[in-house]
Structure 1
Amino acid sequence: MTDAAANSPRIDRLRAGLKKRYAREKRFRAYGLLAIAIAVGFLVLLLGRIVEQGHTAFYAHTVTVPVYMDPARIDRGYPQGTNFEQLVAEQQLARMGVQDDAAGTKATAMRGLFSSELKYLAADRVARQPGLIGQTVTIAAPASDDADLFFKGKVSRDTPADQRRLSDQQIQWLDQMKADGHVSAHFNSGLFTRGDSTEPELAGVLGAVIGSALMLLVTALIAIPLGVGAALYLEEFAPKGKLTDLIEVNINNLAAVPSIIYGLLGLALFINWMHLPRASPLVGGLVLALMALPTIIIATRSSLKAVPPSIREAALAMGASKTQTVFQHTLPLAMPGVMTGAIISMAHALGETAPLLLIGMVSFVPGLPHSLVEPTGALPSLVYIWENASERAFHERTAAAILVLLAFMIVMNAAAILLRRRFERRW
């Protein structure tokens, strides 16, 4: 009884200590769950805001209008020279029973409700079918950016007239067109089939997507062979010493250098010294290759280190040379990690903006690129340009371009994960 009484305080202290330790563990788990919840919450908030702002860019509105192809106003030899916008505006006013004034201000206001693409659609149709002249033709006229935003509910009639680009009269006309059943919504395929434009309703991401693809092609052709080769030499062939330690430290430091520094390097080296074409995929790819090299080297060296030494020893014991051991045994086993590192570095390069701005990919480039030396844009720089545009309709397209960029990055990262899970070996 005496021993039990003497040990009782000690047991109580042990139980109290265990209770405190379990309480700390529970608090730590709660803090971890709270941190994850906060991170997921911010991610959902960010993606939700982007989707909310950008989903409307994936559809657009057209207005079905009958157009009388007046022979007196259409040039048969050159239909493209005909002012179809004015022709449609005047006829639309007449159908609504609106009398234009001497200055033609109402016709001008009506023209502002249709995209400039209307004239190209009408001219192309007349050029293909000259027999339509003198007849009434139904055309699905694309709405202008302001009219499109109104149909999407992003322009309110309750906003003071001096704070919106549509007048009360234009809004009344749009309401009448919609009430008559002439307005329809459709998938905005032009967002994916056109290049950049000064008019929001005609702007697309195809030029930027092709530019980004060409840059990534140059980056992959340069960075992956050089990065893997450098990692192989440093890990398998280079003698261990102060020099290799210094190189390894500098490679790790280069991986942490801000991307804008690589842009300055590319501007000085490739444009000012080598005189390569400014804002071209070639220069962009070279700059991104410099930025991706440290990541590829580090990932490749880590993959090579993960291969058990017994593989090398067994190959050497069977009479294989050092080179045969590396290229026939070590590298194939490390290839899943190498491919994962390469894809992740490419995805990282795809989303970089600062280096591209410094080499000139911040200017307006219409059309689609056809070579590595033509000026072009890229998805990150296109997002920057559209977000700084004055037209409100560009802002929804900015969010849509971000979604396209995120989709590319998700696909590339998913490919890296699948490759690792498919080919990874556990030792």
Structure 2
Amino acid sequence: MTDQAINESGSESVRSSTVSDDAFRGRLKRRHAADRRFRLIGLGAILVALTMLGIILVSIVGKGYTAFVATEIMLTVDLDRSVIDPKGTGDPAVIGAASYGKLIRDAMMAAFPEVKERRKLRSLFGLVSGEASHEIRQYVLDNPDAIGTRQAFWFPADDNIDMLVKGHIDRKSAEGDRKVSNDEIAWVEQLEASGAVRTVFNSRFFSSGDSREPEIAGVWGAVVGSFFMLVVTLLLSFPIAVMTAVYLEEFAPKNRWTDLIEVNINNLAAVPSIVFGLLGLAVFLNVMHLPRSAPIVGGLTLALMTLPTIVIAARAALGAVPPSIRQAALGMGASPMQTVLHHVLPLAMPGILTGTILGMARALGETAPLLMIGMVAFIVDIPSGVMDPATALPVQIYLWADSPERAFVEKTSGAIMVLLGFLIFMNAIAVLLRKRFERRW
């Protein structure tokens, strides 16, 4: 081969190598650009999700934080013996049946002696909540020696007055555009000037049940009802789900029947919750005749809904235990049952508990199945057992959201904040359990 041919061949090789390197660099550059675009899209999706979450939380907190404070009005009440116990018998039945509303009306008239017109008097008496007479009654029953004296009481303000003091009603707007009249605003300002109006922590919100009066409505009845339902749900769903997962994962033969069971369990986990409500209505109420709107029925219905979720989580936790653990236990002479109970199940329990808590958190936030079994009833009393009429936090939120009064708007948002607090607490427990007991193989 001549020198010229060798040079030409070398030049072609160099050009080919240069073209190949340029193509490789171009492809590498495009891949890096695609990676950057993918990361930016992912980051944008996260930012959008966080923005939406922030908007929701700001809206809820902005509307609901005032539910944790209450407006109170001070009145000096003359506990007139002639009204409370005219015969001086001291009989609690006589004292309890007295007209305490008259004492409040007399106190209001004494505080505003210039008000004489009947219509204005009716508005004046409405500055305080209807609960005021019950509070005086309870005070007198607990302190009968106070009869015949003058006592200063702090009474809950009416819901419209409460909204006015908290700033939810604009005092400068036209009278026809607000539910509080000019006279009522003048009386409130007069009470504020004398120090007879204050805002305090709303302990009633966390200690009382539902009420048609927004200023005294609370979430405690719904919290207790939710607690009883979750107890029933946990006691039923956890052992059944764990035993089901152990059997399917460790002992069940692999055939068409077990495959059918597994497919049905996976499908049940995706069934809408209202279907379980229909099942509870048909079985627990119409067939078993259990009491309507009772935590026992809600717990049974939620247990059916939670079972597939816990079974799937438990099977995943059992499957994550290395086979060497089973082989070592069997090699040491342990029976298959001893291997599962003494070695596999304890190692899988952190994952099982995590799945259980997440399933219970989902059950706590469910509303549709509870509506189907009649837990939408108006319940004032605090339930004392699983058979007593009760409601739940999501249902309470639903009821308050449907109420027309402006004060129930803040109650609704406040109850949502309480529910979110419970859910965050339960999810935090799940995370702590996983971090505390999780083992990496």
TM > 0.5? yes
* Residue in structure 1 matched with residue 3 of structure 2 by the alignment: none
CA displacement at 1:97 relative to structure 2: 4.0
- Identify which of 356, 360, 385 aligns with 1:342: 356
Say whether residues 1:331 and 2:341 are aligned partners. no
Query: Distance in 1 between the 2:147 and 2:285 partners?
Result: 53
Determine if contact 1:89/1:108 at 8 Å carries over to the other structure: no
SS of residue paired to 1:62: strand
**2:104 is aligned with what amino acid?**
V
Query: Distance in 2 between the 1:53 and 1:358 partners?
Result: 29
Query: Distance in 1 between the 2:57 and 2:413 partners?
Result: 10
CA displacement at 1:128 relative to structure 2: 3.5
Determine if contact 2:115/2:121 at 8 Å carries over to the other structure: no
Say whether residues 1:60 and 2:60 are aligned partners. no
Query: Distance in 2 between the 1:121 and 1:347 partners?
Result: 37
1:41-60 correspondence to structure 2 within 5 Å: 41-60=51-70
* Residue in structure 2 matched with residue 106 of structure 1 by the alignment: 120
Determine if contact 1:85/1:111 at 8 Å carries over to the other structure: no
Structure 1 residues 288 and 235: alpha-carbon distance in aligned structure 2, compared to 1, 3 A threshold: same
* Residue in structure 2 matched with residue 33 of structure 1 by the alignment: 43
SS of residue paired to 2:74: strand
**1:65 is aligned with what amino acid?**
L
Determine if contact 1:80/1:119 at 8 Å carries over to the other structure: no
- Identify which of 195, 203, 206 aligns with 2:220: 206
Determine if contact 2:108/2:125 at 8 Å carries over to the other structure: no
- Identify which of 83, 89, 100 aligns with 2:99: 83
Say whether residues 1:73 and 2:83 are aligned partners. yes
CA displacement at 1:358 relative to structure 2: 0.4
SS of residue paired to 1:320: coil
Query: Distance in 2 between the 1:128 and 1:317 partners?
Result: 72
Say whether residues 1:13 and 2:23 are aligned partners. yes
**1:7 is aligned with what amino acid?**
S
SS of residue paired to 1:66: strand
Say whether residues 1:308 and 2:318 are aligned partners. no
Determine if contact 1:86/1:111 at 8 Å carries over to the other structure: no
CA displacement at 1:202 relative to structure 2: 1.2
Determine if contact 2:66/2:410 at 8 Å carries over to the other structure: yes
* Residue in structure 2 matched with residue 394 of structure 1 by the alignment: 408
CA displacement at 1:163 relative to structure 2: 3.8
**1:219 is aligned with what amino acid?**
T
Structure 1 segments (4+ residues) deviating >6 Å: none
SS of residue paired to 2:358: helix
SS of residue paired to 1:138: strand
Determine if contact 1:69/1:133 at 8 Å carries over to the other structure: yes
Give the total of aligned pairs.
Answer: 425
Query: Distance in 1 between the 2:99 and 2:176 partners?
Result: 30
Query: Distance in 2 between the 1:350 and 1:99 partners?
Result: 51
* Residue in structure 2 matched with residue 425 of structure 1 by the alignment: 439
Say whether residues 1:92 and 2:102 are aligned partners. no
Determine if contact 2:75/2:107 at 8 Å carries over to the other structure: no
* Residue in structure 1 matched with residue 312 of structure 2 by the alignment: 298
Query: Distance in 1 between the 2:54 and 2:427 partners?
Result: 19
Query: Distance in 2 between the 1:59 and 1:265 partners?
Result: 41
What is the TM-score with the length of structure 2 in the denominator?
0.93
Structure 1 residues 86 and 108: alpha-carbon distance in aligned structure 2, compared to 1, 3 A threshold: farther
Say whether residues 1:233 and 2:247 are aligned partners. yes
Query: Distance in 2 between the 1:240 and 1:208 partners?
Result: 45
Determine if contact 2:104/2:133 at 8 Å carries over to the other structure: no
CA displacement at 1:66 relative to structure 2: 1.5
CA displacement at 1:161 relative to structure 2: 2.9
What is the TM-score with the length of structure 1 in the denominator?
0.96
Say whether residues 1:258 and 2:268 are aligned partners. no
Query: Distance in 1 between the 2:382 and 2:345 partners?
Result: 39
Query: Distance in 1 between the 2:297 and 2:142 partners?
Result: 42
Structure 1: which 5+ runs fail to align? none
Query: Distance in 2 between the 1:74 and 1:313 partners?
Result: 82
Determine if contact 1:227/1:296 at 8 Å carries over to the other structure: yes
CA displacement at 1:118 relative to structure 2: 1.3
Determine if contact 1:75/1:81 at 8 Å carries over to the other structure: no
* Residue in structure 2 matched with residue 370 of structure 1 by the alignment: 384
Report sequence identity in percent. Answer: 50
Q: List per-residue Cα deviations over 1:266-306 (Å, max 9, x = no partner).
A: 00011011111111111100000000000010001001100
**1:41 is aligned with what amino acid?**
T
SS of residue paired to 1:421: helix
The structure with the larger Rg is 2
Query: Distance in 1 between the 2:142 and 2:254 partners?
Result: 73
SS of residue paired to 1:204: coil
Query: Distance in 2 between the 1:21 and 1:144 partners?
Result: 66
Structure 1 residues 128 and 238: alpha-carbon distance in aligned structure 2, compared to 1, 3 A threshold: closer
* Residue in structure 2 matched with residue 243 of structure 1 by the alignment: 257
CA displacement at 1:140 relative to structure 2: 0.9
Query: Distance in 1 between the 2:143 and 2:388 partners?
Result: 36
Query: Distance in 1 between the 2:98 and 2:188 partners?
Result: 25
Structure 1 residues 120 and 273: alpha-carbon distance in aligned structure 2, compared to 1, 3 A threshold: same
